Structure 1
Amino acid sequence: MTEAELQDLLKKNPALRVRGGAPKAKKSKASLPKPMFDSQAEERYYNAYIAPGIYSGLIRDCQLHRTFEIIPATEHWGQKYPARVYTPDFVVCWRDGLVEVIEIKGKVIKRLQRDYHLRRQLFIIKYCNPNEWRFREIKAEEV
C-alpha cells in the first residue's frame, strides 16, 4: 500500500489507527550489482576481496568476464577461422591506476580446457605486457 492510499483510507475511516508507523527505508552504502558467477570459487573470491575493495574505495572499477580478442578472425583459401578470445574472471582497476587481471581456476577445469595455457600466454603477450597489467591466477581450492 502506498503512502497516498494509506492517507486516503485514514480519511475515510477516522476510527482506524496505524500501529508502528510507516516502514523506514533502509540505509545502505553503495549498492553493488548482483553479478553472475561461473563458479562458487569466483563468488567466494568476489565476496571476500572485490566487494570490500569497492566499498572501501580501493577498487575503482571491476569488470566480470570481459572478453578480449587474442587472435583475429581470418580466412585461408575459402576456409573461415573464427576469432579466438580470452575471458578472465575479473579485470580490476585499483584506485592507484593499476589494472589487475584475475583468473580463478580449479585443477579439473584447468585440465579440461586443454588450450587454456596457450590462450593465457597469448593474452599476457598481447594485453598485459604492453599495458603493464598484472595477471594473477588463483587456485579455486585456495579461495
Structure 2
Amino acid sequence: MHIAAGAVAGISGALWIHTHRGVIPGDVGLGTAVVVVLAVAIGGARFLPAAGLGVALVLVVGAVVAATAPGHAPLLLALILGAAVWALPDGVAGLPARLRRRRQPPARADETAAGPDAAAAASARRFGRQSASSDRPRP
C-alpha cells in the first residue's frame, strides 16, 4: 500500500512540474497541507481510494460553499472534520464496516473472555452466586 501511495505521489509530482514548468515553495504551502490532511481524515487513511473520496468531498464542499456563502468554506470544512473525527474515526471508508458491526448482536462476556477467572465469573452469573474472583479488585 505504501509503495502504491508513493508511486501515485511521484506521478502527481511529475505531472505538477510538467504542467507548471517548475515548483516554488508557495505552491505547496500550509493551505495545501491542511487540505491534504483534511481529505485523508475525512476519507480515511487505510485505503487510497478513500483518500481520493475525501479530496473530492473537500473540493466539492469548498467550491459549493464558496459560491453560495463566500468566506464560510473553511468554517464548514472544520465542522465536517470535527464530525468526521468524532463520528467516523476510520473516515468515510470505515462506515460500511462500522454499520456491519452495529447490525451484529453483541457477544456474550463468557464467550469472549478467556481464563479461569472469566469462566468462574460466567458460571457465577449463570447460577446467581458470587465468586471469589469477582470480589477481588483488579490491579
TM-score tier, shorter chain, comes to under 0.3
Structure with the higher strand share, 1 or 2: 1
Higher relative contact order, chain-length normalized (CA < 8 Å, sep 6+): 1
TM-score normalised by structure 1 residue count: 0.27
Structure with the higher helix share, 1 or 2: 2
TM-score normalised by structure 2 residue count: 0.27
